[in-house]
Structure 1
């Protein structure tokens, strides 16, 4: 007996697609693989007639249910796990292959909402947008590499559709939503700047490894809440020590002045 990806918990996200035909073709690819949830972020051209034509008549219900968003970060806030697709390699990008990622998603998808994000046709996802993702996927090709957006969507959806693991799968609890994790990281960055642990001139550089760590460990919502509580306590204590120091210094100066008067 095996367990497969819970497809109803998978959402495809197209970030700033340029052509409505690609949106329609992506819908058709998704539906062939049993996935029917689509978010389109800030499309350049959202011509519904062209979208419907490429999606075909059998997918019109999915087209009608498309969620439109204006900002990628806001669109991903409610998801527990975010997969970003990228054609570029190197640098600090650690990427996996579609089949291995899909197999990993089997257990995660049972109790968590998963988003698979695709970037613009001409330049993909920016570095800042990739930081919103827990994991990056690269679709390997031969020397000639020019996948159409809908083709890339089909490959990822196909691998998710086929992925399975032998039972009994590992238990995966509800993970922190993307907005919960980002709020914690923003709070952590601010306190690390205040206590002079990281360089305030370039905090993103110093936060990169911490961001990778917290996304890699698949933090639970309760764990994120505990860490945020610890950060608030550190902030309170640092502020208290600062106020106590100012008071002691003021008392010292006043005491010195009184002694000189005597």
Structure 2
């Protein structure tokens, strides 16, 4: 690591270079901090989608602080994070609320994420639900070096199918089949506790995953290309495309692979446009 911090060509015995080294180290401090002091849990972003009650938001902030997480994002909350009831419930964790971001769209909240995890208790067609204990190692592996976003839905209805379609993984917390719906703050507490309990022995993946927004760009080109070649069912255009999206999400693509596939779909779009123009001529 030291080699990353000392500039190339530095003469270790040259006094004239000491000032340059100091300036270089000053600008490299964020990199050093990120490598040495930021653990996997601090790279995990908790995203609450349209939380209804300020009490739950405050309790979520508290349990985040208990488990060593810092980044909280609220998407269209009913109450602001500094609501008095939020602050009352966030005993010892008010800084989590002070630094919480409030956003109008889930897409904005997911930017910069290499892995997006959706929590749900209801089975979805064609989507595998992974028990939390099995999913935790994957989450922590990615969080060793990249940002992970974990989504928790509304207190009464959870996450919508459309919101879950944005996720790489769907995770469930096993509970009583008759009464398995957990309170929002309780679900966050169980999820984060499981992550913390599995911290030891986690290793970083061999390669970095493509950021979430790069995948969304790939999906946009894929849908356009498949539409142009008649792959999509006009009566139900999402059928088939959603299956392909899930395959690509599960594949864990890196940025190079995303660029390759985007280039392929752009080529299809270009070829169909050229054929259409040629036919008109």
1:160 aligns with 2:195: yes
Name 1:180's counterpart in structure 2: 214
Report deviation, 1:243.
Answer: 2.5
Structure 2 unmatched ranges of 5 or more: 1-38
Name 1:88's counterpart in structure 2: 122
Name 1:136's counterpart in structure 2: 170
Q: CA contact under 8 A between 1:108 and 1:172: conserved in structure 2?
A: no
CA distance change for structure 1 residues 92 and 63 in 2, over 3 Å: closer, same or farther? same
1:30 aligns with 2:64: yes
Report deviation, 1:150.
Answer: 0.3
Name 2:244's counterpart in structure 1: 210
CA distance change for structure 1 residues 170 and 76 in 2, over 3 Å: closer, same or farther? closer
Q: CA contact under 8 A between 2:54 and 2:86: conserved in structure 1?
A: yes
Structure 1 unmatched ranges of 5 or more: 248-262
* Cα deviation digits, residues 45-68 of structure 1 (max 9, x gap): 226211110001x21111100011
Shift >6 Å, 4+ stretches = none
Q: Counterparts of 1:181-196 in structure 2 under 5 Å?
A: 181-196=215-230
The separation in 2 between residues aligned to 1:165 and 1:210, in whole angstroms, is: 35
Report deviation, 1:91.
Answer: 2.5
* Cα deviation digits, residues 29-58 of structure 1 (max 9, x gap): 1111111110000011226211110001x2
CA RMSD of superposed structures (Å): 1.8
1:120 aligns with 2:154: yes
Name 1:225's counterpart in structure 2: 259
Rg (Cα) greater in structure: 1
SS for the counterpart of 2:93 is: helix
SS for the counterpart of 1:205 is: coil
201-210 or 65-74: bigger deviation: 201-210
Name 2:111's counterpart in structure 1: 77
Name 2:47's counterpart in structure 1: 13
Q: CA contact under 8 A between 2:145 and 2:204: conserved in structure 1?
A: no
Q: In structure 1, which of residues 45, 51, 56 is the aligned counterpart of residue 86 of structure 2?
A: 51
235-244 or 93-102: bigger deviation: 235-244
Report deviation, 1:165.
Answer: 5.8
TM-score where L is the length of structure 2: 0.81
Q: State the structure with bigger RCO (CA 8 A, min sep 6), 1 or 2.
A: 1
